[in-house]
Amino acid sequence: MDFNLTKEQELLRDGLTKFLSSRYDLQTSRAAAKLGEGWQPDIWRGFAEELGILGATLPEESGGIGGGAVEAMVIAEALGHALVIEPFVDTVVVAGGLLQRAGGDAAQNVLEDLVGGAAVVAVAATEPTSGDNWYSVETTARRDGDEWVLDGAKIVVVSAPFATHLLVTARTSGDTTDKDGISLFLVETASAGSGFTAHHYRTVDDRRASDLEFDGLRLPASALLGPEGQAGPSLELARDEGAAAVCAEAVGGMRKVLADTVEYCKQRQQFGQPIGSFQALQHRMVDMHMEVEQASAAMYLAVLNLDSDAVTRAKAVSAAKATVGRAARFVGQNAVQLHGGMGMTEELAIGHYFKRLTALQYEYGSTAAHVSRYAELTRP
């Protein structure tokens, strides 16, 4: 495998890192998360207009640059390092991929708005009884003349409180757990009207999410994206793309947590000397470093196999998600422990990173779910 970035990818990384170091303040982002809108629209516009990263992985006909999984990895890792709360992975990687594969005028229009920073798209695929299984869909969509009627519920739809559009999975045929018969619908939140209710809340890692209910929500015929009942393969790919991207985000966050912990241990005095001089703590930080490097290697494995066949891709992504989940838990917990009681305070960044690393273990499939999938795929 080639782990070297191209010159263009290095410029993308360096430009984003410089932007975040000068423009993205942790305290400001926490204030926006806790007391404001839940994100910073001016930062999102900067991503679109100044950096162009919202189109980095999207096709040129939509106004994008036409990059791929490696570009998504570079961006997600930088965003994780800065603990960015704006929904790049949810909107650009996952929703953008679904829209691109669905095709059609409606999807194309949203993609163009997404690249320009005017659209934020949230994927509503998780249901109260589905757990990690996106194929377990009880939400239904039925035809009524020239319209679709949507009924059902979705939970923990991240970024939905400020999303302009929703991508909603609904069953148009088949039984609840069939892989066939799932369709994808585009819902404009501003014009949803009656039949649509949303309960917004803040998650443990300072993101915004919603629980949604659809009660006879009427949608135009154009709301159906792609062929009816055939969204399953695209959803499976989107979930793997999202998992690989959050692995990259976690690696960026772990690198920052490790660096801050090493620096703290050089400064914190105990018994008249820095605690970083104690051999036991040095061994602990070496263990943290090893976990980060293993997670990084597994993340590369997943990213470089996203274009492989479905089974190879699934094995690589699940191996990465399981490895990164274990590493995020180990690095986060040990960083907090080495900081002592200060590690979980609001004043220090380490506590905010710990919460995000904990949440990342469950996004796009939990660590346990990916261990189970890998075991199933590798069973003789």
What pLDDT does 202 receive? 94
Domain boundary among the residues 198, 225, 252 is at 225
Last residue of a domain, one of 225, 243, 277: 225
Judgement on whether residues 164 and 45 belong to the same structural domain of the protein: no
Stated pTM of the model? 0.94
Report, as an integer, the average pLDDT of 151-170.
96
Residues 96 and 219 in one domain: no
The count of structural domains within the chain is 3
CA–CA separation, 205 and 126 (whole Å): 19
The H-assigned helical ranges of 197-341 are: 232-267, 279-303, 310-339
Residue 90 maps to which CATH number? Answer: 1.10.540.10
- Do residues 144 and 86 both lie within one domain? no
Task: Say whether both 149 and 286 belong to one domain.
Answer: no
Q: What is the mean pLDDT of the chain?
A: 93
Within a domain: 241: yes
370 and 252 housed in the same domain: yes
Q: What is the mean pLDDT of residues 306-314?
A: 96
Whether 322 and 239 map to the same domain: the answer is: yes
> Is residue 45 domain-resident?
yes
**Is residue 178 domain-shared with residue 84, that is, in the same domain?**
no
In which band, very low, low, confident or very high, does the pLDDT at 275 lie, cut at 50, 70 and 90? confident
Q: Are residues 263 and 308 in the same domain?
A: yes
Q: Does 62 share its domain with 39?
A: yes
Within-domain flag for 220: yes
Tokens representing residue 242 in the block: 């999202």
Is the residue at 1 inside a domain? no
* Mean pLDDT value across residues 137-162: 95
241 with 209, same domain? no
pLDDT tens figures, 337-355: 988 877 777 778 899 999 9
Residue 328 confidence (pLDDT):
97
Residue 2 resides in a domain: no
| Closest to 200 measured CA to CA, from 135, 139, 156 | 156
Task: Verify that 189 and 68 share a domain, yes or no.
Answer: no
pLDDT the model gives residue 2: 62
Under a CB-based contact definition with an 8 Å cutoff, are residues 327 and 291 in contact?
yes
CATH number at residue 236: 1.20.140.10
Where do we find the tokens 């189109």? Answer: 55
For residue 1, pLDDT beyond 70: no
pLDDT at residue 111 above 80? yes
Give pLDDT tens digits for 40-70: 999 999 999 999 999 999 999 999 999 999 9
* Domain boundaries, position 278: 232-377
Residues 204-214: what's their mean pLDDT?
A: 95
